[in-house]
């Protein structure tokens, strides 16, 4: 599978009648909303469109496994369309997926109990339950040492690996995506405007403050991208049904997983939001 540490390019075909990208906001385990959104998106999808899922598929909602199943099934439908290729549907890694990755390596953490407690506070408990674990068991194991923790994380990993397609899905996640003309850059939650894209690290998942700086008065476009699009605003920020656009940015997050809605926004090649689907 693809290396999850790299970025990916959404390539425009010279012969495509449409040059548009659909950006899907944070899902947070809301499988029913995702299925509804996919049905509406299928009715609007045009030949030549691309799709970027902006991370945070796991966590919070109660249907984590069903969410991944729906993502995998819809991708098969899309890339089976005439003229579509596997690279035309992209999944970004969000903070929930990053936390799950770290959870499966807790035996190597300096303070595994503190790490697990923090991730549980961020909604990771739903993912843990989906793959056969629970918070009380996990916190108890954290006090038993690296060997016991390793056995516990291995059980979680095996459960995920035994669910068809889920391990491959997690292995295929990208850090960011951009169009081949560098008009649009897609990230999960933010970035550090003082660092080049090639040097971005955790800011892609936790860089909400840095993202806001991209629209500061007098700020130039980040690395000449016409617009940087993210799919998750900082926790606690008010939900907004729609696309919040600044001079150089757009946020697509209706609050799925927090009692809000799931959004898909369509951007044209100039970075303008020209259509939207909600569920």
Confidence at residue 92, expressed as pLDDT on a 0 to 100 scale: 95
2 pLDDT more than 60: no
Q: Which residue has the tokens 């150089």?
A: 248
Average pLDDT over the chain, rounded to whole?
Answer: 90
d(CA 42, CA 63): 22
Confidence at residue 17, expressed as pLDDT on a 0 to 100 scale: 55
106 by DSSP, 3-state: which?
helix
Contact 93, 188 (CB under 8 A): yes
151 pLDDT more than 60: yes
Confidence at residue 224, expressed as pLDDT on a 0 to 100 scale: 86
Contact 246, 230 (CB under 8 A): no
Task: Indicate the Cα dihedral angle 95, 99, 102, 107, nearest 10°.
Answer: 160
Confidence at residue 161, expressed as pLDDT on a 0 to 100 scale: 96
How much is the average pLDDT of 194-204?
89
Confidence at residue 6, expressed as pLDDT on a 0 to 100 scale: 64
Classify domain 8-94+173-278 at the CATH topology level. Answer: Purple Acid Phosphatase; chain A, domain 2 (3.60.21)
66 pLDDT more than 80: yes
Domain ranges of the chain: 8-94+173-278, 98-161
Closest CA to 256 of 37, 22, 70, 20: 37
CA 259 vs CA 43, 54, 97: distances in Å: 26, 19, 20
C-alpha neighbours within 13 Å on the C-beta side of residue 229? 34
- Convert the pLDDT of each residue in 80-102 to its tens digit: 998 888 989 999 999 999 999 99
7 pLDDT more than 80: no
């Amino acid at each position: 599978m693809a290396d999850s540490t790299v970025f990916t390019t959404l390539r425009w075909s010279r012969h495509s009648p449409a040059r548009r990208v659909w950006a899907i906001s944070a899902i947070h385990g809301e499988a029913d909303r995702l299925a509804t959104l996919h049905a509406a998106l299928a009715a609007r999808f045009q030949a030549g469109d691309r799709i970027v899922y902006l991370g945070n598929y796991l966590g919070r909602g109660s249907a984590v496994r069903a969410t991944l199943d729906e993502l995998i099934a819809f991708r098969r439908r899309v890339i089976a369309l005439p003229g579509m290729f596997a690279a035309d549907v992209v999944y970004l890694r969000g903070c929930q997926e990053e936390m799950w990755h770290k959870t499966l390596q807790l035996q190597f953490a300096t303070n595994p109990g503190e790490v697990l407690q923090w991730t549980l506070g961020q909604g990771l408990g739903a993912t843990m339950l989906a793959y056969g674990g629970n918070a009380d068991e996990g916190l108890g194991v954290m006090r038993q040492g690296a060997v016991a923790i390793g056995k516990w994380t291995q059980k979680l990993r095996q459960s995920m690996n035994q669910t068809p397609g889920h391990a491959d899905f997690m292995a295929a996640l990208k850090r960011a995506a951009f169009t081949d003309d560098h008009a649009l850059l897609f990230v999960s939650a933010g970035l550090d405007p003082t660092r080049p894209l090639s040097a971005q690290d955790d800011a892609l998942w936790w860089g909400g403050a840095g993202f806001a700086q991209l629209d500061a008065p007098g700020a130039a476009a980040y690395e000449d991208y016409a617009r940087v699009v993210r799919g998750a605003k900082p926790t606690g920020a008010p939900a907004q049904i729609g696309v919040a656009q600044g001079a150089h940015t757009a946020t697509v997050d209706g609050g799925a997983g927090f009692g809000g809605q799931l959004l898909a926004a369509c951007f044209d090649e100039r970075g303008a939001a020209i259509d939207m689907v909600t569920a």
